[in-house]
A and B are shown apart, each in its own frame.
Chain A
């Protein structure tokens, strides 16, 4: 039997949550995309793979080039998202079919990285960007474990390391540089409401070309980066992971909130342990006394 990894979390939402949360509380509410929040839309059918976006991304973020020498000529040839690449362009090729995909942080509506970060180094800003504040980051790298898209990267070889990830160019008043740099309008920015509408419009205008699904509209509880692809190339082909529609932090937070609600359970346990000791000690004393009396 062949069970693929994408099945791993199937059944989680129904059975899992119910099993844990049934006796006590109900699931913590999902955080959703707000229509006015900023986001980005990547249309794989428009992208020609020029990498203007990723080059510009490096420039505006002051990230070093990943130089690879081929035949004496130096190229900037990054392989994947890394501490020096907040954004990456990847190629899918299968015979004649070719498609590109741009990857960067998805700016989840309900981000796992924010849920796990102990002092809010990764946090959600007013307009929906998932941002990083190095001053309260302890470098635990739990965000790397938690992110279903493997986005946060770590500067492993620095004595004073950092987490590196796309912050939607929040330091630039003009907004995302990659969207500005794209000559084909494959990567665009705007409000989530605007982008979703635009994505639906493109699918509606050319239903033969486009896959009817907008990746990120519901995946992972909603992402701030939406993806369109052609019918010929699936989202899976593009390497976009299959994630549940239920936001990932929901399970852990529901369990955690249930166990620690008002600190009642821990306080009760403390009381129980103290009482048990007191009670047991008295019983032990009584037994000792009885023994002594028997002897005399």
Chain B
């Protein structure tokens, strides 16, 4: 069954100092959540009637899942465009995706004022199909589940080697079934992000009078979809680099380098579509007013353009540091685009001001820490990463 077992668990101790630091942040975040449940959102956040979504939506939901879109990006490349060589990147990307989406969903749950009414999203007779947010909610919840289903093969593979006979038997029985169903699961896993990542842009199509002209366009959906793919590729590059720097594994620089032109070309088309759309709508003059928004736009464009151009250079693709920085810039560009649309270029009519509170930042840090902690534990226990040297005797790790 392990005939093409490219991925292996890293092994090694689970409870490292890093994990304890992360746990500390996680627990303070959890305390904050309790406080929020007792005293309301206003008690922990600076959100107000003018800036009703604050940073939690653009950061915890839209940026996190953009980073988690690596699973979508690499999945499309591997399965649809038949670049099987990238298959070794898929599992790690799915773990990142599963965490990013689970946390994004958790954030929404904490952020919903009347969270106990969430049952309405499971009750189709009430659905208002015009609501882009409904599409996002249902789709993101489903996709989160699908991502975890996609992770059953590595989990079962590992379980079939555990020392408890019943666990082994169940795992061995289940694995062929899961493998058979996998193509359909993968199709769903590619369809859902296409839907909700575009909808995350579509959410702001309802704000023509509040979102600045350089960001408001009926093409928001398409632009968000494209930029989530570029963010996803960037995130894959980052995670590959970080795991090989921190753990005993070999990273395939050539593989990442060969992939790099894909996000680069996507970014260039993203920029082209945006500029053409702005021109068609007759909004070009806004670019050179050199007021705050025009500068913001130019910075954003530069952030997109730089990694794209870098990744087209062969010398950068061969260079580990160069490619890593391009990856970071890719994620950063997508993040800034998301923040601009959701927060900075968005202006309510009356004079509201907003700056995130410590509580909001702490909760976001708590979510990020949870993601990192679970990812680290997952790659140590389960066969997620490729390029891990085999050990004669796999270390038995504590199973809680």
Contact = CB atoms under 8 A, between A and B. Distances in A.
Contact of A161 (B40, B206, B212): B40
B184 interface: yes
Interface stretch (A33-41, A179-187, A248-256): A248-256
B141 interface: no
A273 B212 CA distance: 36
A186 to B, nearest CB: 22
A251 B208 contact: yes
Contacts, number: 231
A273 B210 CA distance: 37
A1 interface: yes
A225 to B, nearest CB: 16
Contact of B82 (A152, A266, A276): A276
B289 A3 contact: yes
B282 A148 contact: no
A257 B288 CA distance: 35
Contacts of A25: none
Contact of A150 (B39, B183, B349): B349
A280 B281 CA distance: 41
Contacts of B40: 155-159, 161
A178 interface: no
Interface string A139-179: 11110111011101111111111100000000000000000
B112 A139 contact: yes
A135 interface: yes
B188 interface: yes
B1 interface: no
B43 A157 contact: yes
A15 B281 contact: yes
A119 B208 contact: no
A117 B186 contact: no
B120 A8 contact: no
Interface string A17-40: 101100000000000000000000
A153 B203 CA distance: 19
Given A15-B281, A116-B130, A138-B117, A266 B195 contact: yes
Nearest to A155: B40
A259 B38 CA distance: 41
Nearest to A136: B120
Given A11-B283, A120-B128, A284-B84, A255 B218 contact: yes
B216 interface: yes
Contacts of B117: 119, 135-139
A161 B188 contact: no
Contacts of A135: 117
B50 interface: yes
B319 interface: no
A159 B186 contact: no
A7 B52 CA distance: 24
A1 B191 CA distance: 44
B216 A273 contact: no
Output the residue of A145, A259, A269 with the most chain B CB within 10 A. Answer: A145
Contact of A259 (B39, B42, B221): B221
A172 B396 CA distance: 71
Output the residue of A17, A135, A252, A253 with the most chain B CB within 10 A. Answer: A252
A255 B202 contact: yes
Interface residue tally of chain A, by bracket? 35 or more
B205 A252 contact: yes
A278 interface: yes
A9 B114 contact: no
B116 to A, nearest CB: 8
A252 B191 contact: no
Contact of A138 (B37, B120, B135, B202): B120
Contacts of B205: 251-252, 255
B285 A3 contact: yes
A134 B114 contact: yes
A20 B220 CA distance: 11
B395 interface: no
A286 interface: no
A241 interface: yes
A8 B285 contact: no
A142 B108 CA distance: 12
B121 interface: yes
Contacts of A150: 49-50, 348-350
B184 A274 contact: yes
A157 B42 contact: yes
Contacts of B123: 119
B350 A145 contact: no
A81 to B, nearest CB: 8
B126 interface: yes
Interface string B119-136: 011010011111111110
A201 interface: no
Contacts of A161: 40-41, 113-114
Contact of A159 (B39, B80, B129, B346): B39
B279 to A, nearest CB: 10
Contacts of B217: 16
13 contacts: A5-B347, A19-B218, A119-B126, A141-B113, A144-B52, A145-B52, A150-B349, A242-B209, A252-B132, A266-B194, A276-B79, A276-B82, A283-B82
Given A139-B117, A162-B113, 15 more contacts: A3-B285, A19-B277, A114-B128, A117-B128, A118-B133, A119-B134, A138-B118, A140-B133, A149-B349, A150-B348, A150-B349, A155-B40, A157-B43, A266-B194, A274-B183
> Which 10 pairs across A and B sit closest by C-beta, in order of nearness?
A139-B113, A156-B42, A139-B114, A119-B120, A252-B205, A118-B134, A144-B52, A141-B52, A273-B187, A9-B208
Interface of B: 37-43, 47-50, 52-53, 79-82, 84, 111-115, 117-118, 120-121, 123, 126-135, 137, 183-184, 186-188, 190-191, 194-195, 198, 202-213, 216-219, 221, 277, 280-283, 285-286, 288-289, 346-350
